[in-house]
């Protein structure tokens, strides 16, 4: 597991994290990285092991990436199971995730989940002051566990990826990309006041990063070209110009995480579950 953490500094800090934050009796391993407003946990989940989160103040996202049967239990609600790639929105409160056979799952929590933030490998680095803080949610989703199966989402020309939201989080789960990305069709851009976490699940990627010049030459940095395998997490701070490309043959899978939900994606009608939240329209 590789973590390329960019927190409070424009220079990539490569961390090879071999001491997981969670080791269960069955051998599951979890690595967590946080931004100012969210924390992402990647777990190599062993069969019949259980990931339990207690009294969460916010709903969270669970990403199931293969055909392993993954079950979700939530206090006061019926048990649900998923046996194919899907994004699951789990309500606030206490919940448990378990699997019938070994698999890798991703969970995305808000920064209001204090225990999950404390588990993050980079939590001690502190928040990047350029990122706007997470506001209190103004919209509410459904009360139950909601499952969004990827097979039910056809590709649509002009739509960017497969974007989902909660009241405070947003995830873009890109379709599988075969082979390397065309190096003549990259998309360098930057974000003024929010962070982006790029999570790779399958394949190798290169993150290309450029720090804009300021009036202080002491703040200038050389461009970074960071090669990562899978799974990996890369936190990209505000203002840094970035683009990511798949490298090498075979399938590639990438997920981007933001918080709060991006208004530009909502305005374009790209958010697939926007209708679950009050005050939004798909």
**157-207, pLDDT tens digit by residue?**
889 999 999 999 999 999 999 999 999 999 999 999 999 999 999 999 999
145 and 169 fall within a common domain: no
Determine the Cα–Cα distance for residues 145 and 27; give it in Å rounded to an integer.
Answer: 27
119 and 189 fall within a common domain: no
Q: Which of 124, 150, 176 is the last residue of a domain?
A: 150
At residue 29, does pLDDT exceed 60? Answer: yes
Domain assignment of residue 195, yes or no: yes
Domain assignment of residue 7, yes or no: no
Q: Which of 116, 150, 184 is the last residue of a domain?
A: 150
Determine the Cα–Cα distance for residues 237 and 11; give it in Å rounded to an integer.
Answer: 10
At residue 15, does pLDDT exceed 90? Answer: no
- The band of 21, judged by pLDDT with boundaries at 50, 70 and 90, is very low
48 and 106 fall within a common domain: yes
Q: Which domain holds residue 59?
A: 20-150
31 and 140 fall within a common domain: yes
At residue 152, does pLDDT exceed 80? Answer: yes
Domain assignment of residue 185, yes or no: yes
- What is the arithmetic mean of pLDDT over 266-278? 93
DSSP tag of 238: T
Q: Which of 113, 142, 140 is nearest to 54 (CA)?
A: 113
At residue 17, does pLDDT exceed 50? Answer: no
Determine the pLDDT at residue 282: 36
Q: How many domains, in total, are found in the chain?
A: 2
The CATH number linked to 160 is 2.60.120.10
- The band of 140, judged by pLDDT with boundaries at 50, 70 and 90, is confident
At residue 281, does pLDDT exceed 80? Answer: no
Q: To 5 degrees, how large is the angle CA 142–CA 107–CA 157? A: 75
Q: Phi and psi of 157, rounded to 5°? A: -60, 135
The H or E element spanning position 118 is helix 114-119
pTM over 0.85: yes
Strand, coil or helix: 39:
strand
Residue 76 neighbours by CB distance under 10 Å: 8
83 and 146 fall within a common domain: yes
129 and 169 fall within a common domain: no
Determine the Cα–Cα distance for residues 57 and 113; give it in Å rounded to an integer.
Answer: 6
Q: Which of 199, 205, 211, 206 is nearest to 9 (CA)?
A: 211
Q: Which of 115, 150, 185 is the last residue of a domain?
A: 150
146 and 24 fall within a common domain: yes
170 and 141 fall within a common domain: no
Residue 102 neighbours by CB distance under 10 Å: 16
Q: Which of 141, 159, 135, 166 is nearest to 63 (CA)?
A: 166
Q: Which of 132, 150, 149 is nearest to 259 (CA)?
A: 132
Determine the Cα–Cα distance for residues 147 and 137; give it in Å rounded to an integer.
Answer: 21
Domain assignment of residue 236, yes or no: yes
Residue 236 neighbours by CB distance under 10 Å: 23
DSSP tag of 111: T
């Amino acid at each position: 597991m590789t973590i390329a953490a960019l927190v409070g500094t424009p220079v990539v800090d490569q961390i090879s994290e071999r001491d997981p934050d969670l080791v269960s009796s069955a051998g599951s391993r979890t690595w967590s990285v946080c931004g100012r407003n969210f924390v992402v946990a990647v777990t190599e989940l062993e069969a019949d092991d259980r990931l339990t989160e207690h009294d969460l103040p916010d709903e969270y996202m669970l990403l199931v990436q293969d055909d392993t049967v993954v079950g979700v239990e939530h206090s006061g609600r019926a048990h649900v199971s998923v046996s194919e790639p899907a994004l699951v929105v789990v309500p606030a409160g206490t919940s448990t995730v378990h699997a019938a056979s070994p698999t890798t799952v991703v969970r995305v929590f808000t920064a209001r989940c204090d225990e999950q933030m404390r588990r993050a490998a980079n939590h001690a680095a502190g928040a990047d002051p350029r990122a706007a803080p997470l506001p209190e949610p103004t919209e509410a989703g459904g009360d139950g566990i909601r499952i969004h199966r990827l097979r039910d989402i056809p590709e649509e020309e002009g739509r960017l990826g497969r974007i989902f939201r909660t009241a405070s989080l947003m995830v873009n789960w890109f379709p599988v990309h075969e082979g390397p990305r065309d190096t003549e069709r990259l998309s360098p851009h930057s974000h003024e006041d929010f962070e982006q976490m790029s999570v790779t699940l399958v394949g190798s990627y290169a993150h290309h990063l450029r720090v804009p010049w300021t009036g202080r030459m002491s703040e200038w940095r050389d461009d970074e070209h960071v090669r990562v395998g899978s799974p990996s997490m890369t936190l990209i701070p505000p203002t840094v110009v970035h683009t990511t490309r798949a490298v090498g043959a075979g399938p590639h899978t990438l997920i981007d995480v933001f918080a709060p939900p991006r208004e530009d994606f909502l305005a374009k009608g790209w958010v697939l579950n926007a209708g679950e939240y009050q005050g939004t329209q798909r």
